[in-house]
C-alpha cells in the first residue's frame, strides 16, 4: 500500500473539521464517530445523519484568480519570504458559487446508491465572508435540480452559519 502524502491527510483532516463545524451550525443529528474520509472514486466523506448513511463531497468556494494570488502570498510568508499582500480584487460571490458547484458536478462518484450531498464552504481567506444568504439560496434553487446531488449546502465557516440549502424532493 502506498502511503498518502502529508498534504492529502492534512486536507482530509480539514474537511472533517469543516464538516463537523457545518453539521453543528446546521443542527444536523450527525453520528459523530461515523464521519470517515474516503478515497476517489468515492466522495470526500461518509457519515450518518439521523441514522441514515450519506456521502458528502466538500469544496471550498473561491474566486480563482484571487485564491491563486492569496495562495502564493501565504506560501511565501510560510517560508519566511517577504511578500506584499495581493492587490484588492473584485469578488463575485455568485460566479464563485456557480463555479464551485459546476466543478464538482463534472466528477464521477461511487456512492453505492446512497444519498450524495455537496457542501460548499466559504473560508474568509480565499473568498471573503458575508455573501448574502438570498444569493446562495437563489443559486442553489437554480442549480440543484439540474445536478445529481440530493442536497447542496453553503456554509460560511468564519461566520459559522449556513447560507443556503437546496434539498431534492422525496422520490416517488
Joined grid coordinates for residue 105: 458536478
HSE toward the beta carbon, residue 153, CA cutoff 13 A: 21
Nearest CA-CA partner of 91 in 133, 124, 58 = 124
CA distance 164 to 170: 19
Tally of residues, the chain: 172
- Assessment of whether the complete model's pTM goes beyond 0.85: no
21-75 residue pLDDT tens: 999 999 999 998 999 999 999 999 999 999 999 999 999 997 666 666 666 767 7
pLDDT tens digits for 132-168?
Answer: 999 999 999 999 998 899 999 999 999 999 999 999 9
> Which strand ranges, in their side-by-side order, compose the sheet holding 115-122?
36-37, 45-49, 52-60, 115-122, 151-156, 161-167
Q: What is the dihedral of CA 159, 74, 102, 10, to 10 degrees?
A: -80
Amino acid at each position: 500500500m502506498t502511503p498518502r502524502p502529508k498534504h492529502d491527510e492534512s486536507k482530509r483532516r480539514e474537511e472533517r473539521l469543516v464538516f463537523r463545524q457545518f453539521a453543528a451550525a446546521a443542527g444536523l443529528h450527525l453520528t459523530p464517530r461515523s464521519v470517515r474520509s474516503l478515497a476517489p472514486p468515492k466522495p470526500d466523506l461518509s457519515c450518518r445523519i439521523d441514522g441514515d448513511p450519506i456521502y458528502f463531497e466538500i469544496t471550498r468556494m473561491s474566486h480563482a484568480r484571487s485564491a491563486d494570488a492569496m495562495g502564493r502570498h501565504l506560501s511565501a510568508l510560510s517560508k519566511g519570504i517577504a511578500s506584499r499582500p495581493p492587490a484588492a480584487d473584485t469578488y463575485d460571490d455568485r460566479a464563485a458559487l456557480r463555479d464551485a458547484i459546476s466543478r464538482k458536478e463534472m466528477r464521477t462518484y461511487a456512492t453505492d446508491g446512497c444519498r450524495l450531498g455537496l457542501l460548499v464552504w466559504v473560508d474568509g481567506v480565499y473568498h471573503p465572508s458575508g455573501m448574502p444568504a438570498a444569493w446562495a439560496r437563489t443559486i442553489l434553487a437554480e442549480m440543484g435540480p439540474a445536478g445529481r446531488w440530493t442536497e447542496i449546502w453553503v456554509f460560511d465557516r468564519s461566520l459559522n452559519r449556513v447560507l443556503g440549502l437546496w434539498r431534492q424532493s422525496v422520490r416517488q
